[in-house]
Amino acid sequence: MTPEQALSEAHEGKLRPVYLLLGEESFHARRVLAALRARAVAGPTAAFNEDRFHAGEADAESVLSAARTVPMMAATRFVAVHGVERWETRGASALDALADYVASPVLTTVLVLVAEKLHAQRRLVTAAKKGGFVVDCSAPPRRELGAFVRDAAKRRGHALAHDVAELVAELGASELGALDDAVERLSLYVGAGAEITEDAVTEVVARVRQGTVWQLVDALGRTDVAAALATFDAAFDPREGGLRLLGAVAWSVRQLVKFDGARRAGASETDAARAAGVAPFKAGDLARSLKRIGPARLGRWLGLLAEADLALKGSRRPDRAVLETMLVDMCR
């Protein structure tokens, strides 16, 4: 089931005796875990009916003993186990014991097992899939991050244009928790019910105006190294580690790629701009930029942007040096 389906079950009070939260996206796991706990235990007896374990510190027998304990002055108990994948490296006995339990669970306990990854052929996993209580907490693909941002804004009562959502997704890295935090800060900044605009994103998330980014892209398109480095120097914020500025540039380049793809498919400039998530009145600017840069250079730029992203996250080189090298290479 999806995290949304698990949240729906929690809100409706239709709790299952066992849930397996499987996947590396901790944002999904935290939300589902919190919703299940809130529904399973509440009130003054909550502390007596809740147990939390970490697989690296506890054994399966302790977990199952807690799961089989009768609730105290309440209808249900809540038992959560984090890091279940750690038991997989210590042999199959613990996971097999859990598999035996889920075949006939205690109905007055909600047992939640949290794991980033488990072998698909484990009895526990196959039983969970067959029983329909696996919650898919895997990270979504990049193309779905914009929709996640829009949903996060909608939950908080804000309108958010498609292109602005894509910009937030580009700037907020790939972790859903970071994106949700960015939307929360934007929500507080614009105020209740107000639209989240590109200017708000600039002030709260990016600290660099998109117009400045387009100036940078334009300088790169002219292979004007001096202008590109000067624009970069004015926009670079060392407090952000370079990732947000890189994300803003990558967002603009991807817009050009999408615009080019739509034009090649026969779309008008206006329709191609819409397909790229850009306001139609900017279609002419996109067309001129694309003509100056050329599709082949755009493809090479995407590769250089990806290399810079990896270097910023894993290299010991200074962030400024990484980005300046990328800009010089893009001008070649």
Q: What is the pLDDT of residue 260?
A: 92
How far is it, in rounded angstroms, from Cα 145 to Cα 161?
A: 14
Share of the chain above pLDDT 70, in %: 96
Residue 206 has pLDDT above 70, yes or no: no
How far is it, in rounded angstroms, from Cα 8 to Cα 287?
A: 46
Question: Mean of the per-residue pLDDT values for the chain?
Answer: 88
Q: Which of 226, 224, 248 is nearest to 237 (CA)?
A: 248
Q: What is the pLDDT of residue 172?
A: 64
Q: Please compute the mean of the pLDDT values over residues 53-81 and round it to a whole number.
A: 92
SS3 183: helix
Between residues 91 and 294, which one has the greater pLDDT? Answer: 294
Residue 208 has pLDDT above 80, yes or no: no
Burial status of residue 44 (CB atoms within 10 A of its CB: 0-12, 13-18, 19 or more): exposed
Q: Please compute the mean of the pLDDT values over residues 310-325 and round it to a whole number.
A: 89
pLDDT confidence tier of residue 168, bands split at 50, 70 and 90: confident
Q: Is residue 142 within 8 Å of residue 170, measured between CB atoms? A: no
Q: What is the pLDDT of residues 249-289, one digit of tens each?
A: 888 888 899 999 999 999 999 899 888 877 778 888 889 88
DSSP 68-134: TSPPSSSS-EEEEEE-THHHHTT-SHHHHHHHHHHHS--TTEEEEEEES---TTSHHHHHHHHHT-E
Q: What is the pLDDT of residue 215?
A: 85
8-22, 121-135, 139-153, 163-177: least confident range: 163-177
Residue with tokens 């995290």: 3
- Whole-structure pTM over 0.85, yes or no? no
Please give the angle made by the CA atoms of 208, 213 and 218, to the nearest 5 degrees: 160
Residue 196 has pLDDT above 70, yes or no: yes
Q: What is the pLDDT of residue 11?
A: 93
Q: What is the pLDDT of residues 86-130, one digit of tens each?
A: 888 766 688 999 999 999 999 999 999 999 999 988 899 999 999
Adjacent-strand bridge partners of 196: 160
Burial status of residue 55 (CB atoms within 10 A of its CB: 0-12, 13-18, 19 or more): buried
Domains of the chain: 3-136 (3.40.50.300), 142-206 (1.10.8.60), 210-331 (1.20.272.10)
Q: What is the pLDDT of residue 199?
A: 81
Q: What is the pLDDT of residue 212?
A: 78
Compute the 3-state secondary structure of the chain and give helix, strand, coil in percent, each to the nearest 5.
65, 10, 30
pLDDT confidence tier of residue 209, bands split at 50, 70 and 90: low
Q: Please compute the mean of the pLDDT values over residues 298-319 and round it to a whole number.
A: 89
